[in-house]
Structure 1
Amino acid sequence: MDKAHSPFPGGKYMNTKQLEWFRLELQQQLDECERLIEDTKGQDDQASPEGDEADVADYKIQIEQQASAIHRLHIQKRAIEAALNRIDSGDYGYCEETGDEIGLPRLKANPTARLSLDAQERMERQNRLQGAG
Structure 2
Amino acid sequence: MAKLTEQDILGWNGPEEDYMNADHLAFFRERLLHMKEELLANASQTSQHLQEQEATPDPADRATLEEEYALELRTRDRERKLLMKIDSTVKKIDDGSYGYCEDTGEPIGLARLMARPTASLSLEAQERRERLKKQYAD
Common topology (TM > 0.5)? yes
1:10 has 2:14 as partner? yes
Query: CA RMSD for the aligned pairs?
Result: 1.6
Aligned partners of 2:29 and 2:93 also within 8 Å? yes
- Match of 1:57? 63
Q: What amino acid maps onto 2:20 in structure 1?
A: M
- Are the aligned partners of 2:108 and 2:121 in contact in 1 as well (CA < 8 Å)? yes
Once the two structures are superposed, what CA deviation does each residue of 1:1-58 show, in whole Å capped at 9, x if it has no partner? 4625625342501111111111111111111111111112211012342312112211
User: Equivalents in 1 of 2:134, 2:76: separation in Å?
Assistant: 28
Residue 124 of structure 2, aligned match among 106, 118, 127: 118
Give unpaired runs (5+ residues) of structure 2.
none
State the distance in 2 between where 1:109 and 1:54 align: 40
2:88 match:
82
Determine if contact 2:4/2:27 at 8 Å carries over to the other structure. Answer: no
Where in structure 1 are there 5+ consecutive unaligned residues?
none
SS in 1 for 2:104: coil
**Alpha-carbon distance in 2 for matches of 1:106, 1:89:** 20
Match of 2:39 in 1: 33
Poorly superposed stretches of 4+, deviation over 3 Å: none
TM-score normalized by the length of structure 2:
0.87
Total equivalences in the alignment? 132
The 3-state SS of whatever aligns with 1:18 is helix
Instruction: Please give the per-residue CA displacement for 1:69-120, whole angstroms capped at 9, x wherever unaligned.
Output: 1101111111211111110111100111111111111111111100011100
Residue pair 1:6, 1:21 contacting (<8 A) in 2 also: no
Comparing both chains, which one has the higher relative contact order based on Cα–Cα distances under 8 Å and sequence gaps of 6 or more?
A: 2
